[in-house]
Structure 1
Amino acid sequence: MNLTYLPLFYDLSSREQRDALNELMARNPAIQLIDNILEQIQELVRVLFPSETIGEENLKQRVEVYLQNVDLATYGTWVYYPWLEKIVHLLNEEDFIRVRTSRNMYKIDQKEIATLGKKKIGVLGLSVGQSVALTLAMERTCGEIRLADFDHVELSNMNRLRCSITDLGINKAILAARQIAELDPYIKVRCYTDGATEDNLDDLLLVGGKLDLLVEECDGINMKILSRLKAKEFQIPVLMDTNDSGMLDMERFDLEPDRPILHGRLKVLEGLSSIAIAEQLRNLSFPEKIKYLSEMIGIENVSDAMKRSLPEMNKTIVGWPQLASSVMLGGAMITDVARRVLLGQLQSSGRFFVEFADLINDDPDKDFCRS
Structure 2
Amino acid sequence: MMNLKQYLSKVPDHQAVYTPILYRLNQEQDHQAFLELLSQNAHLQVTDEILSQLKELIKISNPTRKLSPEETAGAVQQHLGNQPIETYGVWVYYPWSGRVVHIVDEAEFIALRTSRNMHKITLEEQKLLKSKKIGIIGLSVGQSVALTLAMERVCGELRLADFDKVELTNMNRIRTGLHNIQVHKVVVVAREIAELDPFLRVKCYLDGATEENLDDFFTNGGNLDMLVEECDGVDIKILSRVKAKALKIPVVMDTNDRGMVDVERFDLEPDRPLLHGLIPEIDIKSLRHLTDAEKIPIFRPMLDMDKMSDRLKFSLGEIGKTITTWPQLASSVVLGGAVVTDTCRRILLNQFSNSGRYYVDFEQLIV
TM-score class, shorter-chain normalisation, is over 0.9
Report matched runs for 1:195-210 at 5 Å. 195-210=208-223
C-alpha deviation, 1:288, in angstroms = 4.0
- Which of 330, 335, 356 in structure 2 is aligned with 1:324? 330
When the two structures are superposed, what TM-score results if normalisation uses the length of structure 1?
Answer: 0.93
Q: Which residue is equivalent to 1:368?
A: none
C-alpha deviation, 1:282, in angstroms = 2.7
C-alpha deviation, 1:257, in angstroms = 0.8
Structure 2: gaps (5+ residues): 1-12
Letter in 1 for 2:359: F
Mean CA deviation greater in 188-197 or 59-68: 59-68
- Which of 158, 177, 187 in structure 2 is aligned with 1:164? 177
- Which of 159, 164, 186 in structure 2 is aligned with 1:146? 159
Q: Which residue is equivalent to 2:317?
A: 311
C-alpha deviation, 1:294, in angstroms = 0.1
Report matched runs for 1:287-302 at 5 Å. 287-302=293-308
- Which of 230, 246, 249 in structure 1 is aligned with 2:262? 249
Report if the CA contact (8 A) 2:142-2:230 is conserved: yes
Q: Which residue is equivalent to 2:239?
A: 226
Structure 1: gaps (5+ residues): 270-276, 362-371
C-alpha deviation, 1:58, in angstroms = 1.7
C-alpha deviation, 1:287, in angstroms = 4.8
Q: Which residue is equivalent to 1:352?
A: 358
Instruction: Name the CA shift for 1:285/1:151 in 2 (closer, same or farther; >3 Å).
Output: closer
RMSD: 1.1
Query: What is the alpha-carbon distance in structure 2 between the residues aligned to residue 204 and residue 283 of structure 1?
Result: 21
Q: Which residue is equivalent to 1:8?
A: 21
- Which of 178, 181, 188 in structure 1 is aligned with 2:194? 181
C-alpha deviation, 1:278, in angstroms = 3.1
2:263 match: secondary structure: strand
Query: What is the alpha-carbon distance in structure 2 between the residues aligned to residue 59 and residue 73 of structure 1?
Result: 18
Report if the CA contact (8 A) 2:133-2:156 is conserved: yes
1:215 aligns with 2:228: yes
Mean CA deviation greater in 101-110 or 64-73: 64-73
Q: Which residue is equivalent to 2:9?
A: none
Q: Which residue is equivalent to 2:3?
A: none
C-alpha deviation, 1:311, in angstroms = 1.1
- Which of 39, 45, 49 in structure 2 is aligned with 1:36? 49
Deviations 1:258-279 (A, max 9, x none): 111100012425xxxxxxx432
Report if the CA contact (8 A) 2:91-2:102 is conserved: yes
1:47 aligns with 2:60: yes
Deviations 1:272-310 (A, max 9, x none): xxxxx4323234455541111101011332110011001
Letter in 2 for 1:44: L
Report if the CA contact (8 A) 2:234-2:288 is conserved: no
Instruction: Name the CA shift for 1:330/1:285 in 2 (closer, same or farther; >3 Å).
Output: closer
**How many equivalent pairs are there?**
354
1:218 match: secondary structure: coil
Q: Which residue is equivalent to 1:85?
A: 98
Query: What is the alpha-carbon distance in structure 2 between the residues aligned to residue 21 and residue 283 of structure 1?
Result: 47
1:99 aligns with 2:112: yes
1:123 aligns with 2:136: yes
Q: Which residue is equivalent to 2:4?
A: none
1:268 match: secondary structure: coil
Mean CA deviation greater in 45-54 or 96-105: 45-54
1:335 aligns with 2:335: no
Deviations 1:136-189 (A, max 9, x none): 000000010001111111111111011011111110000000000000000000
Q: Alignment identity in percent?
A: 53
Query: What is the alpha-carbon distance in structure 2 between the residues aligned to residue 20 and residue 57 of structure 1?
Result: 36
C-alpha deviation, 1:247, in angstroms = 0.2
Deviations 1:102-161 (A, max 9, x none): 000000011101111111000110111000000000000001000111111111111101
- Which of 282, 285, 289 in structure 2 is aligned with 1:279? 285
Query: What is the alpha-carbon distance in structure 1 between the residues aligned to residue 104 and residue 18 of structure 2?
Result: 21
C-alpha deviation, 1:339, in angstroms = 0.4
